[in-house]
Amino acid sequence: MNVRVRIHFKPPTDADRRAMETLAIDLTDNQASVRISADAVPDWLRADFTMPTEAQYKALPKIERAIRIHASNKCDSTIGFPRSTP
């Protein structure tokens, strides 16, 4: 399943970008799917990646735990599950 994690840093640093990459790599089922980018909203970084398909309510605690562990410098975060393109 596709996952998008957005994290607000004030301001984002290279260490924050590396933290985003590490949390995505820890969660993904395919390292080639990991994409880290600046979000359209200033001071937010975005990680897009895939995870093994499971109920979203089961995936959320795993993602939240990875955010707590790897992005301790965060101000805010959002988690989304974008649909796959047909």
Would 86 be classed as within a structural domain? no
pTM of the model: 0.91
The answer for residues whose C-beta is within 8 angstroms of residue 84's C-beta and 6 or more apart is: 2
Number of structural domains, the chain?
1
Query: Domain residues for 43?
Result: 2-80
Does residue 49 fall inside a structural domain? yes
User: Would you give per-residue pLDDT tens digits along the chain (86 residues)?
Assistant: 999 999 999 999 999 999 999 999 999 999 999 999 999 999 999 999 999 999 999 999 999 999 999 998 899 999 999 987 54
- Can you state the percent helix, strand and coil of the chain, rounding each to 5? 35, 25, 35
pLDDT for the residue numbered 84: 75
So what's the pLDDT on residue 17? 96
**Which CATH number belongs to the domain containing residue 52 in this structure?**
3.30.70.120
